[in-house]
Structure 1
């Protein structure tokens, strides 16, 4: 099921809701909530997700993809996140060479639905925050999947989510592998599978900020870009403390606020 949206300043977007039958069927049943537009499929439907894309000569460009459920599938990104996930994060890793050292910076952003009392009515919106970033020196593992698992570990340790919560993680790579990662048929990194109830969502890193997923990913990308800029300028000391871990030579956590553009290394890292 699909629909199209148009904007004179960009290529036409196509939005689809996909669902696969679990076996051979003679019919597919679904209902549509006329108030919200949400779709509810009948029994036997699996691998349900919404996807936004546009056409190009070498094939469709996927801008975002949100795994959903057969009981409630919607084109609205905010509705989809609220219906299926208790916590939502965006994680983006960038790798560059700074002063002769190959560094990987993992940027992290959080999304939270907020309800406020406006002058004349109750208003709702989404709050984006950037709680921290991770810096790895000479990382030998594939940076993006390694960054996802590392950031999730820190997020849980800091209390951003707990066991039993449905967690959505917005990422911008490995699109062809995400289904296998989410189904736990393929390990994400170093033989490690996704934690229980964690699901990877997709957003393109070069799609601007046209929807919630792209906006969140842009915050995570901004985090790492700002850190690289500060490192290159010498405003942020480079960590040189050895880890003794074979996968990377140096590591530190950096406290970040990507919203106002400030960065603050943790006290333990100021001398690194």
Structure 2
């Protein structure tokens, strides 16, 4: 699994902010051609991002393009599909057909530019009630989709509510994305941006809820959010120590023909041991 704990959005119009973002230690940077860019600046953003993605030492970088239903999608993809780019984030993805259309366009551009077809990842950004209800199909739309992402701010607006510090209005959507990702056998999803930029305590609680539900990481919009999010989506030393103990005890029991044991007052069977292995794998990747 290519673990992404923290992905930082940066406006595609601002070359200085983009280069600064590359040095801020997020797991990935998302250059934005969609909501962070005014309608009158779309061409400028494409030109800036198109030049940046041709940098020889590009870090892990995605570009969020406008929706397939928008008039900008073709020009967006033509500007940014280049070798070295990690992938495309497709804004306002609502149906599997939209994802497949984007996949087809990306494939054509890969072939045109001598990039092996299927190289670029495609992350559907699901941010509406319709998208949430179609999440199973969106997540399984094509092999290019390795994970999906949640856009909570658009989702709350679409469902006539407001993003709160308590997060109850997001529970259903988050749960749907977790289940859809598992059914499609792709990586765990990426959680929404938290809009409370100056309230780091609210950010931490929001991130803890998402990790507890099964998200692999979170999108952020400010440098101050990077550290807390990476910390919360990383296994703690205590979790790693406990996982090692579980795996060692279970492996020993399994070698003796036992598939369930008691450890520290808790039952341990295959699902618990497998989860411990996931924690150890994540910790190893972070190193």
TM interval, shorter chain, is: under 0.3
Per the normalisation by structure 1, the TM-score is: 0.27
TM-score of the two chains, using structure 2 as the length reference: 0.26
Higher normalized contact order (CA 8 Å, seq sep 6+, divided by chain length): 1
**Structure 1 or 2: larger strand share?**
1
